[in-house]
Homo-oligomer: A and B are copies of this chain.
Amino acid sequence: MSLIVAKFGGTSLASPDRIQMVAQRLVALKQAENEVVAVVSAMGKTTDELVSLARALNTDPPAREMDRLLSTGEQISMTLLAMALSARGYKAMSFTGRQAGIETDGIHEKAKIVKVNTKRIRKALSQGYIPVIAGFQGIDQNGDITTLGRGGSDTTAVAIAWGIEADACEIYSDVDGVYTADPRVAPRARKLAAINYDDMLELSSVGAGVLQMRAVEFARKYKVVIHARSAFSDAPGTYIKEATPKMEEAVITGIAHDTSEVKVTIRGVPDMTGVAAKVFSALANSMVNTDMIIQNISEDGITDISFTCPDADLKRAQETVIKVLPEIGAREYDIDEDIAKVSIVGTGMKSSPGVAAKMFKALGDNEINILAISTSPIRLSVVVDGAQTAAAVRCLHTAFDLDADSVFKETQLSAEELAAKMEKGR
Contact = CB atoms under 8 A, between A and B. Distances in A.
Contacts of A16: 53, 56-57
A16 B52 CA distance: 10
A102 interface: no
A99 interface: yes
A61 interface: yes
A161 B262 CA distance: 55
A82 B65 contact: yes
A76 interface: yes
Contact of A58 (B61, B83, B143): B83
A19 interface: yes
Given A53-B16, A62-B82, A76 B69 contact: yes
A82 B64 CA distance: 10
A80 interface: yes
Contacts of A80: 53-54, 57, 69
Q: How many copies does the complex hold?
A: 2
A20 B53 CA distance: 12
Given A61-B83, A82-B62, A83-B58, A50 B76 contact: yes
Nearest to A86: B62
Consensus secondary structure, chain A interface: helix
Nearest to A82: B65
B94 A68 contact: yes
Contacts of A96: 68
A126 interface: no
Contacts of A20: 57
A108 to B, nearest CB: 12
A66 B57 CA distance: 28
Interface string A31-72: 000000000000000000010011011110110111011001
Contact of A68 (B57, B75, B84): B75
Contacts of A76: 50, 53, 69, 72
B57 A83 contact: yes
Contacts of A82: 62, 65
B61 A68 contact: no
Given A75-B72, A76-B69, A94-B65, A99 B58 contact: no
Nearest to A74: B72
Contacts of A64: 93-94
Contacts of A23: 57
B86 A79 contact: no
12 contacts: A20-B57, A53-B76, A58-B83, A58-B86, A62-B82, A68-B79, A68-B94, A69-B76, A69-B80, A72-B72, A72-B76, A99-B143
Given A16-B56, A75-B75, 20 more contacts: A20-B57, A23-B57, A53-B76, A53-B80, A54-B80, A57-B80, A57-B87, A58-B84, A58-B86, A61-B87, A64-B94, A65-B86, A65-B94, A66-B79, A68-B75, A68-B79, A68-B94, A69-B76, A69-B80, A72-B76
Q: Which 5 A-B pairs have the closest CB atoms?
A: A69-B79, A58-B87, A58-B83, A16-B56, A72-B72
